Amino acid sequence: MQMKLEKKRSSSMDKIMNKLRSAQKKAHEMRSSMLANQSHEVTRSSSKALSFRQTRQIGSLSGCFTCHAF
């Protein structure tokens, strides 16, 4: 009788530990995915900002040259 109870308890603990490992693995994958998405967004945002600054500078310079040319 006592052996059966110990086996059940051991089996239950194994199931719990497996679920815990699975949840930890899933959480780790989700965190990694979020970090990858965030770094991609930051890169994309900074490249947009750079291209905006470049077009802004070019536009202001061309306006200046046009002004002095005529």
Domain ranges of the chain: 1-70
Say which amino acid occupies 34. M
pLDDT of residue 9: 92
Largest interatomic CA distance in the chain: 104
Indicate the pTM of the whole model.
0.47
Give dist(CA 15, CA 9) in Å, integer: 10
Query: How many residues does the structure list for the chain?
Result: 70
Give dist(CA 41, CA 47) in Å, integer: 10
- Quick: pLDDT tens for 19-66: 999 999 999 999 999 888 887 776 666 666 555 555 555 555 555 555
